[in-house]
């Protein structure tokens, strides 16, 4: 209705206002006509250490809540962005999730291969702007080595390379975060991780280009021509040797000779010499074509085509339930914190029970006593919430850097309305709860405190 | 006199009770004239302070009537009693009960927080005047650094800042040395005799009691003696 017609930004702002408004009304009603500030300020000074600890506890809990929300969203945005460049992935039938992890997030896996006929059919299909085969399995240090075509590198890089594109089999383009310099050579190991066999391939590559930062795991990858991957594994190189003026013997690596003629790299590949690929990244020339291509290449027992974005949203749908569970947990823990805050406030109120008794004896109205206690609590809660908000943002920023480094996915440290809503909601609940000790302060036996 | 005169006190069948309804003090009848200086003496635990706090409307329970002018405190609820104190009664406690974290002026004007803006101004002026006439330093120093005599004078300034018509004091000289006690006694009596405030003081201090217009004695919660005399 009217609410739904508003832009999300306006809705969020109104929600925030709705959360803050009761606090303002509560404060206005309690403080109307009174001047409790000097007394409250003096009490804060006097009990500053207690107050500081209290603020720190509140800030800690708020920061954790803010951090959780922001981090979860950051991770979602980051993983989705990483899949941006991959419109359609075509693989042999199997697990979409596994193949998405392998192709988009470079989590190596053993997968059945698609043959040259299939590749040729896909590459030659109408509306296919790009069809790049992938080959995984090797590594340099901790960086996975991916074999593919120059077109895919250009597509993923979304910007000019530092250096240049590989134009020969022994050349490599590295991701932005790979610790290899331009001109440096390396020998890939067979396999990935601890089990990698360092000297299985007696082949040297030289780095000729570096991709700009893409925010994807490809930032940590070493990309070489797919012909080279096939070559070092002793397979055909996708091209008819007769047309290439060179042999493709594995292990024979005298690159000086290879340079004589420009090597034929990339498509078109000759199906007869195509050793197979576990995944083909396809880009269609239109959105409608994407859907058409996906259904065309989804064929039982032959090929499986999927949108990584869709697979991700399925994963998010599952994670959404987790998120709901986490939100409940976050809420429960915030409620627990609110409860302990309440207990803390009762204890704090005891600290100045005598002050309150004296004020009462001097004729202070009940609302004034409530105003003093509530204002004192509110200053602590407000300060804790603000510090916690700042702390949460800082923590998000720090965690994003750690997560980005660990996963290779650029996790943006964002700051959204949800955090503000959480903090405002917490403050609202806590400040309403702060009325309880304020009301309790009215019931303290005055005379006993005066004569204590 | 000022506003409606609330200075004359009339107690009738007053029984002050604890929260558990045990009797603390019983006064069948007592009249105190406007501007009179009344001392309440008696051994510890005789119910003197209980009676004094009942006169301020601070007893948890009481029966009978406590009439200040035409206002019966025993018939009022807690908020109305507080309002009456705020308007008409100045209270001085044995151990001062100052706000340690505040300075002298802030202590003397601590009731300003719940008064209207216009009253606040007058209260500030009166408190400042009082403090300087009591030769107290009006600096930002916390009263926690003050001597006992200085602290009690701040308490007096606080009790008088709103120009109450009634001044109630509980053992005001108990924590003071003799010089300070004498100084305070003069101060309190001046409030009764010159400013016309009704002064009721609970005390063990014979020097103080001897200067009062009249002294009543309590024992085991009942009035045993009513002695007219003193400084007049």
DSSP secondary structure letters along A383-439: HHHHHHHHHHHHHHHHHHHHHHHHHSS-------HHHHHHHHHHHHHHHHHTHHHHH
Entry pTM: 0.77
Assess whether pLDDT exceeds 90 at residue B210. Answer: yes
What distances in angstroms separate CA A82 from CA A43, A77, A139, one per listed residue?
53, 9, 21
What was the pLDDT predicted at B221? 86
- State mean pLDDT over B189-209: 93
What was the pLDDT predicted at A253? 45
In the DSSP assignment, the letter for residue A211 is: P
What's the CA gap between B107 and B89, in Å, rounded? 17
Listed as ranges, residues in chain A with pLDDT below 50 are: 244-261
- Chain A residues close to B83, C-beta within 8 Å: 363, 365
- Chain B residues close to A46, C-beta within 8 Å: 100-101
* Residue B125 to chain A, least CA–CA distance (Å): 17
pLDDT tens, position by position, B18-69: 888 889 999 999 999 999 999 999 998 888 999 999 999 998 889 999 999 9
In the DSSP assignment, the letter for residue B227 is: E
Q: Residue A262: which of A227, A310, A215, A314 has the closest Cα?
A: A227
Assess whether pLDDT exceeds 80 at residue B116. Answer: yes
Interface test with B, best of A359, A361, A368, A369 (most B CBs within 10 A): A361
Whether residue A232 has a cis bond before it, omega within 30° of 0: no
Contact A35 B60 (CB under 8 A): no
Contact assessment for residue A305 and residue A190, using Cβ atoms and an 8 Å cutoff: no
The interface pTM score, or ipTM, of the predicted complex is 0.92
Q: CA of B105: which chain A residue's CA is closest?
A: A38
- The interface residues of chain A toward chain B in range 42-61, judged by CB-CB distance below 8 A, are 42-43, 45-46
**Which residue in the block uniquely carries the two structure tokens 């016309």?**
B196
Strands (E), A155-298: 162-163, 171-174, 185-186, 189-190, 205-210, 222-225, 279-284
- Chain B residues close to A444, C-beta within 8 Å: none
Q: CA of A37: which chain B residue's CA is closest?
A: B113
- Chain A residues close to B89, C-beta within 8 Å: 363
- Any CB–CB contact under 8 A between A359 and chain B? yes
In 3-state terms chain A splits into helix, strand, coil percentages (rounded to 5) of 55, 15, 30
What was the pLDDT predicted at A258? 44
Residue in A361, A366, A368 nearest the CB of B58: A361
- The interface residues of chain A toward chain B in range 372-401, judged by CB-CB distance below 8 A, are 372
What was the pLDDT predicted at A149? 92
Contact A361 B86 (CB under 8 A): no
Beta-carbon contacts below 8 Å between A and B: 81
């Amino acid at each position: 209705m009217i609410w739904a017609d508003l832009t999300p930004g306006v809705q969020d702002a109104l929600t925030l206002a709705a959360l803050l408004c009761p606090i303002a009304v509560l404060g206005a009603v309690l403080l109307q006509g009174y001047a409790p500030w000097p007394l409250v300020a003096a009490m804060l000074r006097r009990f500053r250490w207690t107050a500081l600890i209290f603020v720190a506890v509140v800030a800690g809990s708020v920061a954790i809540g803010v951090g959780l929300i922001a981090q979860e969203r950051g991770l979602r945005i980051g993983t989705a962005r990483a899949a941006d460049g991959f419109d359609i992935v075509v693989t042999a039938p199997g697990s979409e999730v596994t193949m998405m992890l392998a192709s988009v997030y470079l989590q190596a896996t053993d997968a059945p291969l698609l043959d040259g006929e299939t590749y040729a059919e896909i590459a030659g299909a109408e509306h296919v702007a790009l069809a790049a085969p992938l080959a995984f399995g090797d590594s340099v240090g901790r960086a996975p080595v991916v074999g593919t075509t120059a077109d895919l590198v250009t597509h993923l890089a979304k910007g000019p390379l530092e250096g240049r594109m590989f134009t020969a089999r022994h050349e490599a383009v590295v991701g932005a975060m790979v610790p290899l310099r331009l001109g440096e050579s390396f020998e890939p190991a067979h396999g990935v991780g601890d089990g990698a066999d360092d000297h299985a391939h007696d082949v040297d590559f030289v780095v000729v280009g570096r991709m700009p930062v893409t925010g994807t795991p490809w930032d940590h990858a070493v990309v070489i021509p797919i012909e080279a991957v096939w070559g070092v594994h002793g397979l055909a190189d996708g091209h008819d040797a007769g047309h290439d003026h060179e042999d493709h013997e594995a292990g024979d690596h005298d690159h000086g000779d290879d340079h004589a003629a420009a090597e034929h790299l990339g498509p078109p590949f000759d199906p007869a010499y195509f050793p197979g690929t576990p995944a083909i990244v396809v880009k269609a020339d239109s959105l409608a074509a994407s859907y058409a291509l996906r259904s065309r290449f989804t064929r039982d027992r032959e090929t499986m085509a999927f949108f990584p974005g869709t697979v991700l949203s399925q994963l998010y749908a599952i994670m959404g339930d987790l998120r709901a569970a986490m939100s409940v947990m976050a809420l429960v823990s915030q409620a627990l914190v609110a409860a302990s805050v309440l207990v803390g406030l009762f204890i704090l109120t005891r600290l100045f029970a005598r002050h309150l008794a004296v004020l009462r004896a001097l004729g202070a109205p009940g609302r004034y006593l409530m105003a003093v206690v509530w204002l004192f609590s509110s200053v602590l809660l407000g300060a804790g919430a603000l510090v916690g908000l700042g702390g949460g943002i800082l923590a998000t920023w720090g965690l994003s850097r750690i997560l980005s480094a660990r996963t290779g996915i650029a996790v943006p440290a964002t700051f959204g309305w949800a955090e503000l809503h959480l903090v405002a909601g917490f403050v609202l609940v806590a400040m309403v709860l702060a009325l309880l000790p304020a009301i309790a302060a009215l019931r303290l036996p005055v005379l006993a405190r005066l004569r204590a | 006199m000022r506003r409606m005169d609330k200075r004359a006190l009339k107690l009738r069948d007053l029984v002050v009770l604890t929260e558990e309804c045990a009797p603390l003090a019983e006064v069948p009848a007592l009249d105190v004239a406007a501007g009179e200086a009344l001392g309440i003496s008696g051994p510890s635990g005789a119910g003197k302070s209980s009676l004094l706090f009942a006169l301020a409307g601070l007893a948890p329970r009481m029966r009978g009537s406590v009439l200040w002018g035409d206002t019966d405190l025993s018939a009022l609820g807690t908020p109305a009693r507080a309002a009456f104190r705020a308007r008409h009664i100045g209270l001085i406690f044995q151990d001062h009960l100052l706000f340690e974290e505040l300075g002298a002026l802030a202590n003397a004007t601590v009731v300003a927080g719940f008064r209207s803006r216009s009253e606040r101004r007058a209260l500030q002026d009166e408190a400042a005047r009082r403090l300087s006439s009591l030769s107290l330093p009006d600096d930002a120093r916390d009263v926690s650094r003050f001597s006992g005599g200085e602290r009690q004078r701040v308490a007096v300034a606080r009790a008088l800042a709103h120009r109450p018509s009634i001044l109630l004091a509980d053992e005001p000289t108990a924590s003071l040395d003799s010089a300070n006690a004498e100084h305070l006694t003069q101060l309190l009596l001046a409030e009764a005799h010159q400013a016309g405030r009704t002064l009721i003081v609970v005390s063990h201090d014979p020097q103080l009691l001897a200067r009062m217009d009249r002294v009543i004695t309590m024992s085991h919660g009942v009035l045993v003696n009513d002695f007219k005399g003193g400084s007049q």
